[in-house]
Amino acid sequence: MKIWVDADACPVVIKEILFRAATRTGVETTLVANHAMRIPPSPSVKFLQVIGGFDVADNEIVKRLERGDLVITNDIPLAAEVIEKGGMALSPRGEMYSPDSIRARLNMRDFMETMRASGVVSDGPPALSQADRKAFASHLDKWLAQNAPKPR
């Protein structure tokens, strides 16, 4: 099992949690982005740079994803594709998406897009809180406990 990170918009603090977890457990963690970024020197952490363009990183993640892999993303349509393909999707805010919750999130996303297109301006999401980080780390630890390679 692998972890894929939609890294262009992933908060630095979440990447740092992922780097520590990958190094500690040996689970291959690949950051996918359309711009260069620094990663720690660890055999478990990889970086895949894709060309710029709409959904290029998302499409690359879906293409390489295998059943049971974990994808870290705030992108609701990407999370829906991941779940459809048999993967798991976790937001940096600590929400583990499910087939039921992703439908509701897609509907809300579409509604908010319609509102913004109509001129209703929203402030966007609040800053990542300590509770968000804790929820993320908790879901990540549960996934790792079930999927990380067992020491010999």
CATH code at position 61: 3.40.50
pLDDT, tens digit (0-9, with 9 covering 90-100), for 57-115: 999 999 999 999 999 999 999 999 999 999 999 999 999 999 888 777 766 667 667 76
Confidence of residue 18 (pLDDT cuts 50, 70, 90): very high
Buried b / exposed e over 89-98, threshold 16 CB at 10 Å, is bbbbbbbbbe
- State pTM to two decimals: 0.88
pLDDT tens-digit readout, 106-121: 666 676 677 677 777 6
Total number of domains in the chain: 1
- CB contact set of 22 (below 8 Å; sequence gap of 6+): 3, 28, 29, 42, 44, 45
Please indicate, yes or no, if residue 134 is contained in any of the structural domains.
Answer: yes
Residue with tokens 């968000």: 132
pLDDT at 32: 98
The two tokens of residue 54 are: 């709409």
Q: Which segments of 99-152 does DSSP mark as H helices, in order?
A: 99-117, 130-147
The boundaries of the domain holding residue 83 are 3-147
Domain-located, residue 129: yes
In contact, 26 and 95? CB cutoff 8 Å:
no
Which of these, 16, 38, 13, 7, lies nearest to 131 by C-alpha position?
A: 13
Residue 152 inside a domain? The answer is no
